[in-house]
Amino acid sequence: MQNGTYLNWVITNTKTKWWHDSADPAELDLGLERGAVGVTTNPFLTNTTLAKNKAAWGDHIAEVLGQKLPPEQKAEALMRGVVTAAAKKLLPEYERSGGKMGYVCAQVNPARAGERDCMLPMARRFHSWAPNIAVKLPVTAAGLDVLEDCVAEGITTTATVSFTVPQVVAVAERHRKGIARAKEKGIEPGKCFAVIMIGRLDDYLREVARDSYPGIEESDIRQAGLAVTKRAYKIYQERGYEAVLLIAALRGEYHLTELAGADLVMSIHPTMQGPFVSRDLPREERIDREVPAEVIQKLSRMREFVRAYEPDGMKPEEFISYGATQRTLSQFCEVGWKQLESM
């Protein structure tokens, strides 16, 4: 790990941990050197590394393609090689931390985001790949049902395609129900990482503002995801939730510096790791700094921000139709999972 960097300061002086956000083996090695204690992948990242790094994955691809599997099974098999390779590298951290960290995410087929009967068997298969797999499930009504079942069976999950306070609160509540069910059966409950895709929320609200709310400025949009995350974090602390917030899709240094000190996990892509290593950033805890009330007031002109910010802004059955959810599922399907199926 490189000493004297902002990432090193975060790791050693605050409660914040960070995961590497990439499926590429060389990038992962660098991330681990910098102090990452987990890996988050998705279908898009998996397809990217397989397509761009044939030297590393050629044998694996040839082996899977040689099996002549149906498309969905082929995509799953291709992803398994990438995920288990990363899991092997993270196993020492998993063992050292007693299972608190060292996880690698494996995401279920995003095209199945509303299909309980498909996602649960898939989650069980992914769980069997390695002891340190965190099965990624979408935060839809169906995904929440599967998450609770997984936790009750001792399967660790990452609740993804999630952008809002009501989503991560629902995740934490269902995690608690799963914990109770597991304990009734004498099973060690699965852990849960609840994602807020902070930058993807900003991206979505930026388009909403440009379309219908010209008075809302870029400086306001840059604080939208922060406002949602800080509110979610406060609720998690007040209620003592067992789930761990995992902040992903960073769009700038401010997404980490303004959350520094929080007891959560940051998922950081290699393109964002560079500034945290090379630049002299403010080394102070800012998680308790509130987003100015006037900014919240301006952002609250947008119904889509209110839905994301208020704990009761959406019901679970509305999660799948939220704009940011649809945008992200489409990307994960079209330039991720479907590309694996057609390889």
User: How confident is the model over 297-336, as pLDDT tens digits?
Assistant: 999 999 999 999 999 999 999 999 999 999 999 999 999 9
Compute CA distances 27 → 33, 38, 271, 325, whole Å.
10, 13, 10, 27
Those residues with Cβ within 8 angstroms of residue 180's Cβ, 6 or more apart along the chain or in another chain:
none
Across the chain, the runs of DSSP E, i.e. the strands, are 17-20, 38-39, 103-107, 133-138, 157-160, 192-197, 244-248, 265-268
Query: Residue range 124-144: average pLDDT?
Result: 98
Task: Decide if 310 contacts 134 (C-beta within 8 A).
Answer: no
Q: Is a pLDDT exceeding 50 seen at residue 121? A: yes
**Residue 315 region by backbone torsions, left for phi larger than 0, else alpha for psi between -120 and 50, else beta:** beta
> What value, to the nearest 5°, has the Cα angle with vertex 326 and ends 167 and 294?
55
Q: Is a pLDDT exceeding 70 seen at residue 95? A: yes
pLDDT of residue 97: 97
pLDDT of residue 1: 41
Q: Which residue type does 141 have?
A: A
Average of per-residue pLDDT values in the chain = 96
Residue-wise pLDDT for 260-295, tens only, equals 999 999 999 999 999 999 899 999 999 999 999 999
β-bridge mates for residue 166, sequence order: none
pLDDT of residue 2: 46
Q: Is a pLDDT exceeding 70 seen at residue 3? A: no
| Torsion of Cα atoms, 165 then 168 then 173 then 177, to 10° | 170
Q: Is a pLDDT exceeding 90 seen at residue 29? A: yes
**Residue 32 region by backbone torsions, left for phi larger than 0, else alpha for psi between -120 and 50, else beta:** alpha
Q: Is a pLDDT exceeding 80 seen at residue 79? A: yes
pLDDT of residue 4: 61
Query: Residue range 137-158: average pLDDT?
Result: 98
pLDDT of residue 55: 87
Task: Decide if 127 contacts 158 (C-beta within 8 A).
Answer: no
Task: Give the separation between CA 170 and CA 291, rounded to whole angstroms.
Answer: 23
> How much is the pTM?
0.97
Query: Residue range 211-215: average pLDDT?
Result: 95
Residue-wise pLDDT for 226-254, tens only, equals 999 999 999 999 999 999 999 999 999 99
324 vs 56, residue with greater confidence: 324
User: Using 50, 70 and 90 to split pLDDT, how confident is the model at 54?
Assistant: confident
Q: Is a pLDDT exceeding 80 seen at residue 113? A: yes
Compute CA distances 318 → 142, 160, 265, 303, 312, whole Å.
11, 15, 26, 14, 11
**Percent of the chain having pLDDT more than 90?**
97
Q: Is a pLDDT exceeding 90 seen at residue 193? A: yes
Q: What is the set of domains in the chain, with CATH numbers? A: 6-341 (3.20.20.70)
pLDDT of residue 268: 97
